[in-house]
Amino acid sequence: MKDLIDIGVNLTGKSFQSDLTKVIENANASGVSQMVVTGTNLQHSELAIELCELWPDTLFSTAGVHPHHAKEWTDKTAHEIQSMAQQSCVKSIGECGLDYNRNFSEPKDQRRCFEAQLELAADLKLPVFLHQRDAHDDFLSILSRWRDQLTGGVAHCFTGTVNEAKSYLDLDLYIGVTGWLCDERRGKDLQQAVKEIPLTHLMIETDAPYLLPRDLPGELCEKLRDRRNEPFVLPHICEALAKYKNEDPQTVAIQTTQLARNFFNITKKDN
């Protein structure tokens, strides 16, 4: 596997500040040639763009406001994200959606922020990078109203059931799979769901530094710093997805990479 794309990495966080160059080098050495850095609020969306400027053709980004930060949304926020989206490295609006698990922002504020970003994505003709946790019904209802106006969307870090996956496929959404697939305790729903999701609608991601696969081999764990998940783990996730779909890992690698290129409008990196 020499040309994987990690569609969701949180490289702007504190845990990567001291050794980010090494993290990117390790990713490239493992076959992860390009990565999409997730923007979760104004500050981290701007930081993501700055990283893309340091590693052009390797890093790309999203720009948006995670539902945890929805209470911070204002008209000025919309203007700033719209401005960021003019940068060529910004390939998607988000991470946006609903998260009723902790409700760091009130649900009504989350819904308002989500719809505002869907409107922005529709105006900009950019796809959306989506987040949903414990809010499936409201999430689906809002997306259904906007889907015809959107160029596309990916349900990032999907952990749901077969029925939830099918409801997203009915909207012609793509689905991002993480190391949650490798969790023998919590990943059973996802393991069943990926069997029903066409390979044409699947992308892979680490969500680093979060969601370290629980079944990661010892030799890979030894390369990690304080058990922090890193993009170089992506081939392991690709192989897990291939196993549950009963597909050849190289076929999964090629398909998920090409889909990510098409979805995010990313050109293959020159070697």
In a domain? residue 203 = yes
- In the chain, the largest separation of any two C-alpha atoms, in whole Å, equals 49
Is 229 contained in some domain?
yes
Note down the domain range covering 85. Answer: 4-264
Distance between CA atoms of 222 and 133, rounded to whole angstroms?
A: 31
Residue type, 141: S
Quick check: is 243 in a domain?
A: yes
CATH number reported for the structural domain that contains residue 190 in this entry: 3.20.20.140
Q: Are 129 and 64 in contact (CB under 8 A)?
A: yes
Residue 50: Cβ within 10 Å count: 13
Give the Cα separation of 173 and 212 in Å (integer): 25
d(CA 210, CA 134): 18
Q: Cα separations (Å) of 59 from 8, 38, 48?
A: 11, 10, 9
Question: Does any domain span residue 270?
Answer: no
Would 45 be classed as within a structural domain?
Answer: yes
Is position 269 within any domain?
Answer: no
Number of separate domains in the chain: 1
Taking CA 155 as the corner, what is the angle to CA 124 and CA 231, rounded to the nearest 5 degrees?
100
What confidence tens digit (pLDDT) does each residue in 120-156 have? 999 999 999 999 999 999 999 999 999 999 999 999 9
Query: What dihedral do alpha carbons 82, 84, 85, 87 form, nearest 10°?
Result: 150
Let me know if residue 49 belongs to a domain: yes
Q: What is the structure's pLDDT at 223?
A: 87
- Predicted confidence at residue 136, as pLDDT, reads 97
pLDDT per residue as tens digits for the range 26-82: 999 999 999 999 999 999 999 999 999 999 999 999 999 999 999 999 999 999 999
Whether residue 271 is contained in a domain is answered as: no
pLDDT confidence of 189, banded at 50, 70, 90? very high
Please report, for residues 9, 32, 158, 189, the alpha-carbon distance to residue 233 in angstroms, rounded to integers and kept in the order given.
11, 9, 18, 22
Residue 206 CA to chain centroid, in angstroms?
Answer: 8
d(CA 83, CA 77) in angstroms, rounded, equals 10
Residue 271: per-residue pLDDT: 64
Specify the DSSP element, H or E, that contains 95.
strand 90-99
